[in-house]
Amino acid sequence: MIQPAAFYDAMRRHDLTFFTGVPDSLLKDLCAYITDHVPPEDHVINANEGSAVALAAGYHLATGKTPVVYLQNSGTGNVINPLLSLADPAVYGIPILFIIGWRGEPGVADEPQHVTQGRIMPELLDAIGLDHDVIDAETDGYADIIGRACERVRSTGGSHALLIRKNTFAPHALEARPDALLPLTRPEAIELVVSRLDADDLLVSTTGMTSREVFAYREQRREGHHRDFLTVGSMGHCSQIALGLAQHQPGRAVICLDGDGAVIMHMGSLAIIGTQRPINLRHIVINNGAHDSVGGQPTAARHIDLAAVALACGYPHAESISSRDQVDAALGRLREHAGPSMLEIRVAGSPHTNAGRPTTTPVENKLAFMKALRRESD
């Protein structure tokens, strides 16, 4: 396996000193090393992958140097627009080195949301003109690959990608952790919320650990999953799924159980919800200040007031809490106010969890959810 320190040193030797992107589980050890060893002004964990490309462009304009953008391959869709309409040699010619975790590589077991993206990944990079090399744990010449990539992007004004296979990097434990002093953990907050749902409430949960923990808690209580839509993939879009449900199921309360990294990734969704004003939408954000599913790297959510953002976007009611004894009263106020309303629950950073992945497939989840809606609407 490649030591993250050695890979980082190889990048520094080629004057690659600025890093931005969205963390990925395949890159978590490299991202953790960068987080621990790069000053904050030279390492920005971004809201989404497209924004990282734009930030990288600004860095290049200011310094003339080549930035590094890291991401999971599922974030390639966010990258394509700024890559082709901003960074491309036919436009501004912004040289960028991409480091991309290859989830869903053919022949490597992975989750359903990664299968298609992983299968088409090399062809997709070819289609958008992004030259690339594949690196794995046995790649002895990775430093030379980095050097050749730097020479190419600097001479052409183009970009180059390093496609990283699973288990490439040796472990590196993240030293800098989000504040863990808050009394609630995310699993505890999820249990409190789910246990207080009404029988006919519809729940839409965000991707990653949140949906896994919702599923595990329902299993623990021996409850069905037919009123829960467990979002996989599509990070940041859970609230718009919930909006579509709320608009077209006006007689049902729709609970969106979201995460801080997901909200920040597509924060414009709050403005759309605020202007559409669905009175039956309740938006609950579990804020642990971390990208917990992909290594625990911090988000910006500890430093902003999400409730104030929601109010500014047109939510009639929004508040923030951080302790167990506040939950019941806050959930009551959430229902008392005509939606859309937001409750941010601030929890301790990166708790360990034993929640396994749902034992139902995404299609089974969808069909059971839609069947329950039709049956209860008849």
Which domain CATH number covers 257?
3.40.50.970
Same domain, 138 and 230: no
Say whether the peptide bond before residue 340 is cis (omega within 30 degrees of 0).
Answer: yes
Same domain, 150 and 233: no
Domain that holds residue 95: 4-164
180 domain-assigned: no
Same domain, 133 and 275: no
Please give the torsion angle defined by the CA atoms of residues 61, 67, 72 and 77, in that order, rounded to the nearest 10 degrees. 20
Q: What is the pLDDT of residue 294?
A: 76
Q: What is the pLDDT of residue 182?
A: 79
- The model carries a pTM of 0.91
179 domain-assigned: no
Same domain, 345 and 202: yes
Domain count of the fold of the chain: 2
Q: CB neighbours (10 Å) of residue 378?
A: 5
Q: Which DSSP letter does residue 214 get?
A: H
346 domain-assigned: yes
Q: What is the DSSP string of 289-316?
A: SEEGGGT-EE-GGGGS-HHHHHHHTT-S
Same domain, 272 and 325: yes
Q: What is the pLDDT of residue 32?
A: 93
Same domain, 282 and 316: yes
If you count them, how many residues does the chain have? 378
297 domain-assigned: yes
Residue ranges, the chain, pLDDT below 50? none
116 domain-assigned: yes
Same domain, 191 and 312: yes
Distance CA 121, CA 127 (A): 10
11 domain-assigned: yes
Same domain, 104 and 145: yes
264 domain-assigned: yes
